[in-house]
A and B are shown apart, each in its own frame.
Chain A
Amino acid sequence: MVPPPLGGEQALRLLATMWRIRLFEEQVSLLKRADQVHGLIHSSAGQEGVAAAVCSQLRDADVVYSGDRAHGHSIAKGAPLERVMAELMGRDGGLCRGLGGSMHLVDLEHGFLGATGVVGGNIPIALGSALAARLRGEDTVAVVFFGDGAVQAGHFNETVNLAALWRLPIILVCENNGFAEFTPRSAHTIVERVSDVVAPYGVERATVDGNDAVAVWDAFGRYLASARAGGGPFLLECLTHRLGGHYEGDPGTYREALDAADWQEKDPILRLQRHGIAQRWFEADRPAVLEAEAAEAVEQAVRFGRESPFPPLELIEGLVYADG
């Protein structure tokens, strides 16, 4: 089954999402230094191509799970920028009323069932959502994002076995940025490609350049169409690059930074802009407009967050259990 290729308006939507994520993350980095967002912050700057190309093909009813580097995924799935920002600030107006923070974002309305601070912890949970869809006879699809560091954990391997055994409509999206926290992949495993890890299970799989949004769009679109029609599971490995450290404040002494010229080549936003202009998908001046709109939206998000009150103390013991 061949999904529609990326083109004009759709490419602009992707670019808009990528700019929103990039500028959001850059702003968060500044706010972290000013102590206005709190806790452990894991920036997804540099990895926007994957989040945008995957999530913009999904419906609200499709569920997305993520890990600790989740801001971009939640934004791409439709979470309002200002409510993500307010959550990072610990405010009542945040997605989770300030009870979750950066690593535990959830936006049920848009099908973002959540991030987790446990590396790989949401992989089996995502499979449970896929099982629920199958049991109810729905054509919704479950997608879970995780880094290459999660692949060495037991729950990843247990889940791949179950997903293959039960042939559930789940798409495992690995953002392989080459680093598990502070350590290069080669120091943790002899298996270089994540897609090779699942080979014995017969899971349909591919490795693509995750900084090429067009490649991610095409590969994910094929898997999505197949999952909708009852196929699965699938694994899409996206080779990408974490622009910053593992968390905000990480000095990153364990790796060499890309020089600016190399990053110009690799940057998923600039690449899609160059490609779109060359393909005549949009005029050369359109991307700058999107960037400016994103900057305005991020500014508005910061204002919203600052104006939102901190949650009331009653919330501490008031939301431990659901009523009923």
Chain B
Amino acid sequence: MAETTYIGAITSALADAMRADDRVFVLGEDVAEGGPYTATAGLAEEFGTKRVINTPISEAAITGVAIGAAQSGMRPVLEIMFIDFITLALDQLVNGAAKAHFMSGGQLTVPLVLRTQGGAGHRGAAQHSQSLESWLTHVPGLKVLMPSRPVDAAGLLASAIADPNPVVYIECKTLYFRKGEVPEPTAPVPIGEAATLREGSDVTIVALSRLVGDALEAAGRLAAEDGIEAEVIDPRTLVPLDLETIVESVKRTGRLVVAHEAVEHGGFGAEIAAQVQRAAFDFLDGPVARVGAPFAPIPFSPPLEDAYLPGADEVVAAVRELVRG
């Protein structure tokens, strides 16, 4: 085990996959230079620009290129620099990659990983900060991963590259330089398994990506200030979702708070809430609470952006309301 940043874990997992399998290659804007956050730094030096391919700013075409290469037996890892620009790639991803296996009656497979990153808090305003994961979870054929810790960033990326399906792997720019223990070489983390990061008996908090850290902080405060013991679960993968781990926890705690940075309205929290109430309605002591952003684009002005973003305070407030309610 070594202490590694979240972004460093991604770089190491990419390098490990490229060393292990000649079919793996990386393409995207500025990837040979390492990209804006250094995710691919050093890869071109080790593997050459034949396998670390810079592309023009043509999201639609490079996504199509990655799909075609995958259908022809390669293992492309495509970078879309900001998830905000996945809009330009969605036709290829949704109409192409997600449906190729199904529509061909199982003949085609698209072992493609689309790496991208979202998240606000960096004064990037409304076009460089969004959390758009729920759109992608609505498309049958895609797998959607959202690691929150360095160990999962590495392990899930390894599993995504090995998977025969198109996988959207969503990083969080706020987490890039946070550190955690990561095994060397990369140890794969299975897709579809949640991680229970704190055990508790009073309430279950299911948190995504950046909100996982906030939920753990909130749980600490709730224990110290209110005597409330919260269980914190990171689903890690949204599609497929490990509903069993969440439901098993809710059956013990009787309460559920779902927290994510994305706009609450139509967010993935709604899907978790709906699935849990169907599976564990009789165990719930109150309505499922959701923590998410307001139904508004992300504001630029720093005090407004800070007020807009959900964090530990909002999780604490939601738990208190639920427990006292």
* Cα(A104)–Cα(B107), bound, Å: 12
Q: A158–B102 Cα gap in the complex (Å)?
A: 27
B68 engages A124 (CB within 8 Å): yes
Instruction: For the complex, give the distance between the alpha carbons of A84 and B107 in Å.
Output: 15
Report the Cα distance A90→B76, complex, angstroms. 33
- CB of A131 closer than 8 Å to a CB of B: yes
Expressed in whole angstroms, the minimum distance between the Cβ of A19 and any Cβ of chain B is 27
Q: Does A256 contact B (CB under 8 A)?
A: no
In the complex, what residues of A have CB within 8 A of residue B68's CB? 113, 124-132, 142
Interface string of A102-137 (1 = CB under 8 A from B): 001011100001101110011111111111110110
**In the complex with contacts A135-B74, A158-B58, A128-B103 CB distance below 8 A:** no
Which among B50, B61, B69, B70 is the interface contact of A155 at CB below 8 angstroms? B61
Known: A125-B65, A128-B67. A322 touches B101 (CB 8 A): yes
| CB<8 Å pairs between A and B, sample of 13 | A100-B104, A114-B108, A118-B91, A124-B68, A128-B76, A130-B68, A131-B65, A131-B69, A132-B72, A133-B72, A135-B74, A158-B56, A161-B58
Q: Which residues of B contact A116 (CB under 8 A)?
A: 95-96
**Inter-chain pairs besides A127-B64, A162-B58, A321-B141, 7 sampled, C-beta below 8 Å:** A125-B68, A142-B68, A154-B60, A155-B61, A155-B91, A158-B61, A162-B55
- Shortest beta-carbon contacts, A-B, top 4: A128-B68, A124-B64, A158-B61, A97-B105
Nearest B-chain residue to A115, judged by Cβ: B103
Query: Within the assembled complex, what's the spacing in Å between the Cα atoms of A99 and B106?
Result: 9
Q: Smallest Cβ distance from B80 to chain A, in angstroms?
A: 14
B102 with A155: CB separation less than 8 A? no
B4 at the interface (CB under 8 A from A): no
B binding-site residues for A, Cβ under 8 Å: 25, 50-51, 55-56, 58, 60-74, 76, 91-92, 95-96, 100-109, 140-141, 143, 163-165
Q: In the complex, which of the residues A118, A128, A162 contacts B72, with contact meaning CB atoms closer than 8 Å?
A: A128
B interface footprint on A76-95 (CB within 8 Å = 1, 0 otherwise): 00000000000000000011
* Inter-chain contact B108/A113, CB cutoff 8 Å: yes
Contacts of B51 in A (CB 8 A): 135
Q: Is A320 an interface residue (CB 8 A)?
A: yes
- Give CA–CA (A125, B163) in the complex, Å: 20
Q: Which residues of chain B are near A125, meaning CB under 8 Å?
A: 64-65, 67-68, 71, 92, 96
B99: shortest Cβ distance to chain A, in Å? 8
Contact B60 A155 (CB under 8 A): yes
A142 surroundings in chain B (CB, below 8 A): 68
Contact A128 B100 (CB under 8 A): no
Chain B residues positioned under 8 Å from A100 (CB to CB): 103-105
Point out residues on A near B: beta carbons under 8 Å.
Answer: 63, 94-100, 104, 106-108, 113-114, 116-118, 121-133, 135-136, 142, 154-155, 158-159, 161-162, 165, 319-324
Residue of B nearest to A108 (CB): B107
In the bound complex, CA of A82 to CA of B73 (Å): 28
User: Closest approach, in angstroms, between the C-beta of A200 and any C-beta of chain B?
Assistant: 15
Interface centre among A94, A127, A158 (most CB of B within 10 A): A158
How far apart sit A217 and B149, CA to CA, in the bound complex (Å)? 58
Kindly report which residue of chain B lies nearest to residue A100, judged by CB atoms: B103
Contact of B102 among A63, A99, A132 (CB under 8 A): A99
Nearest residue, chain B, Cβ from A165: B56
Q: How far is the CA of A142 from the CA of B69 in the complex (A)?
A: 11
Shortest CB distance B160–A (Å): 13
Closest approach, in angstroms, between the C-beta of A37 and any C-beta of chain B? 17
Tell whether, in the assembled complex, residue A159 and residue B72 are in contact, meaning their CB atoms are under 8 Å apart: no
Q: In the complex, what's the smallest C-beta–C-beta distance from B3 to chain A, in angstroms?
A: 33
| B71: chain A residues within 8 A (beta carbon) | 113, 125, 128-129
> Hey, which chain B residues are within 8 Å of A130, CB to CB?
68
Cβ–Cβ < 8 Å partners of A98 in chain B: 105
Nearest chain A residue, comparing its CB with the CB of B111: A322
Report the minimal beta-carbon distance from A82 to chain B, rounded to whole angstroms.
15
Q: A320's closest neighbor in chain B, by CB?
A: B140
Please report the C-alpha to C-alpha distance between residue A114 and residue B165 in the assembled complex, in whole angstroms.
18
Q: B108 and A132: CB pair below 8 A?
A: no
Tell me which residues across on chain A come within 8 A of B50, comparing CB atoms.
135
Asked whether, in the complex, the Cβ of B108 is within 8 Å of the Cβ of A155, the reply is no
With A121-B95, A161-B56 known to touch, is A99 a contact of B103 (CB < 8 Å)? yes
In angstroms, how far is the closest chain A Cβ from the Cβ of B88? 9
